[in-house]
């Protein structure tokens, strides 16, 4: 509801000062942008019901508004508003009350409205063609940043070809990759169980080029004994946010608008390889072992996607 306008001067000021307060407190940019928009819709509702003073805000009117919101149609997609959207709205109002309490404007308790059950996030794996495009994207900046391009290909090799979880890749050491028998040793796996992950010759080529050619160039001269496989530009172990940012950098450098608009993150690479292996005929038991799942139930989430072709992208 970005197009709504507030007529009440006090409400317009409240929306602006609330956004500034969120920003000063260091909330994420997405929150600083979204919460005031949700609050604007709430204040607009108050205006349309002749509540034009901040001190008229109370718990009953908030609950009435929330009932209205839960019944409102999704103006962009049709149908009702998602539970996730309703929860974000409610969180914005709760945070507004917190702001007003701290400002001494009104002293209302929390609304007491329970959060809705979150909507499950659908898994939409990448196609094999889109994976190829991510690999291809690294060649567009290889001349300028050869070490980073090599590390990016190793990132795809670890998180897609080998299917590691985010923290498993972050905790990976260079000595955990055995090139002679093409096995990657995941020592710090979920649940404390280690596992060996086989990789192909092509994957080994990407890992080996980064390990012996690019990685030494990224190491901090004062930390030459660093064990981490993935090295940041500071010369020490790269964290998950850094690696996730690099994945989005590759995404940006593809020439596929559909791929560029996908909500891409490291774990989606793991989802993608799991789905592709099942599609190619690997048994669910072997896929489960490959992923390091403790039960087949965790792997079965991918089976409903097997009938979809991933050969195009």
Residues marked as catalytic: 165, 190, 267, 270, 293, 302
Which among 68, 69, 265 has a CA at the least distance from the CA of 165?
A: 265
Structure tokens at 138: 């690294």
Distance CA 184, CA 288 (A): 16
Structure tokens at 183: 């096995």
The CA-to-CA distance between both ends of the chain, in Å, stands at 34
Which among 122, 158, 134 has a CA at the least distance from the CA of 238?
A: 158
Residues 6+ apart with CB under 8 A from 66: 86, 89, 90, 93, 111, 113
Residues 6+ apart with CB under 8 A from 303: 278, 284
At residue 228, the 3 state secondary structure works out as strand
Which among 159, 124, 108, 168 has a CA at the least distance from the CA of 262?
A: 124
Q: Are 54 and 105 in contact (CB under 8 A)?
A: yes
Distances from the Cα of 103 to the Cαs of 96, 108, 301, in angstroms?
A: 10, 12, 48
In which residue are the tokens 């509540």 written?
51
Structure tokens at 4: 């709504």
Q: Are 279 and 311 in contact (CB under 8 A)?
A: no
Distance CA 162, CA 175 (A): 16
Structure tokens at 31: 């929150």
């Amino acid at each position: 509801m970005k197009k709504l306008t507030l007529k009440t001067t006090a409400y317009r000021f409240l929306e602006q000062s609330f956004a500034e307060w969120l920003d000063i407190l260091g909330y994420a940019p997405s929150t600083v942008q979204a919460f005031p928009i949700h609050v604007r819709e709430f204040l607009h509702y108050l205006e349309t019901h002749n509540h034009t003073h901040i001190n008229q805000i109370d718990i009953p009117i908030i609950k009435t508004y929330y009932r209205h919101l839960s019944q409102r149609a999704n103006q962009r997609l049709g149908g009702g508003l998602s539970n996730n959207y309703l929860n974000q709205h409610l969180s914005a109002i709760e945070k507004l009350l917190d702001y007003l309490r701290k400002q001494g404007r009104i002293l209302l308790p929390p609304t007491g409205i329970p959060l809705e059950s979150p909507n499950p996030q659908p898994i939409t794996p990448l196609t094999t063609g889109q994976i190829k495009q991510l690999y291809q994207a690294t060649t567009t900046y290889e001349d300028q940043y050869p070490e980073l391009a090599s590390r990016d290909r190793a990132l795809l090799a670890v998180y897609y070809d080998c299917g590691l979880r985010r923290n498993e890749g972050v905790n990976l050491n260079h000595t955990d990759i055995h090139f002679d028998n093409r096995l990657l040793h995941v020592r710090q796996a979920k649940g404390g169980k280690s596992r060996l992950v086989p990789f192909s010759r092509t994957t080994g080529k990407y890992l080996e080029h980064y390990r012996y050619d690019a990685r030494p160039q990224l190491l901090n001269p004062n930390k030459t004994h660093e064990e981490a496989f993935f090295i940041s530009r500071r010369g020490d172990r790269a964290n998950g946010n850094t690696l996730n940012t690099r994945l989005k950098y590759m995404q940006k450098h593809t020439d596929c608008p559909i791929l560029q608009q996908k909500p891409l993150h490291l774990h989606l690479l793991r989802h993608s390889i799991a789905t592709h292996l099942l599609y190619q005929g690997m048994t669910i038991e072997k896929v489960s072992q490959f992923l390091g799942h403790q039960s087949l139930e965790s792997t079965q989430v991918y089976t409903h996607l097997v009938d979809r072709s991933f050969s195009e992208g």
